[in-house]
């Protein structure tokens, strides 16, 4: 009985430490269109004088990102993409934590470079996800917490 109680205690302690880095960021986020546009202007991908058409803005407003413990999902115009991850301390100086993507065994390539996203805070309730190689479109998106 003592050993069962001891083992159960260790398991509960272990579960308490899992996904501890991502915990402050779990929730639902919506694409912050104006700040995302500003990032794109700074990178030369958009013009400062260019107005986002209303129909494009409406589509962008429907894009959401949901971060759960162990998974992240993006909903873009009804298409949902889920990815599993494990979290760890950030490898970037400006990062809060890394989400190391867990690929399905049939999609994994032996010897392939580890894929991860780094959560960077950009303001009150706002985050940015940057890929490990820093060369993805998703790096330009700023997300505002809505839940």
Residue with tokens 């989400």: 99
Task: Note the pLDDT of residue 66.
Answer: 97
pLDDT(10) > 70: no
Q: What is the pLDDT of residues 12-48, one digit of tens each?
A: 333 334 458 899 999 999 999 999 988 888 888 888 8
Closest CA to 143 of 85, 61, 87, 83: 61
Supply the pLDDT for residue 141. Answer: 92
Sign of torsion over alpha carbons 14, 19, 21, 27 = negative
Pairwise CA distance, residues 71 & 62, whole Å: 20
Q: What is the pLDDT of residues 55-110, one digit of tens each?
A: 988 988 999 999 999 999 999 888 999 999 999 999 899 999 999 998 776 655 66
Give me the pLDDT at residue 17, please: 40
Band of residue 132 on the pLDDT scale cut at 50, 70, 90:
confident
How does residue 50 score in pLDDT terms, banded at 50, 70 and 90? Answer: confident
């Amino acid at each position: 009985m003592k050993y069962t109680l001891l083992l159960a205690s260790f398991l509960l302690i272990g579960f308490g430490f899992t996904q501890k880095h991502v915990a402050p960021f779990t929730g639902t986020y919506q694409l912050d269109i104006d700040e995302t546009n500003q990032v794109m202007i700074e990178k030369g991908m958009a013009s400062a004088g260019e107005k986002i058409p209303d129909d494009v803005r409406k589509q962008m407003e429907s894009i959401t990102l949901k971060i759960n413990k162990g998974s992240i999902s993006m909903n873009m115009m009804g298409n949902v993409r889920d990815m599993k991850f494990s979290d760890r301390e950030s490898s970037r100086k400006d990062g809060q934590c890394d989400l190391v993507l867990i690929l399905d065994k049939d999609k994994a390539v032996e010897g392939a470079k580890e894929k991860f996203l780094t959560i960077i805070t950009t303001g009150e309730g706002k985050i940015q996800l940057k890929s490990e190689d820093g060369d993805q479109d998703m790096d330009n998106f700023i997300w505002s917490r809505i839940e």
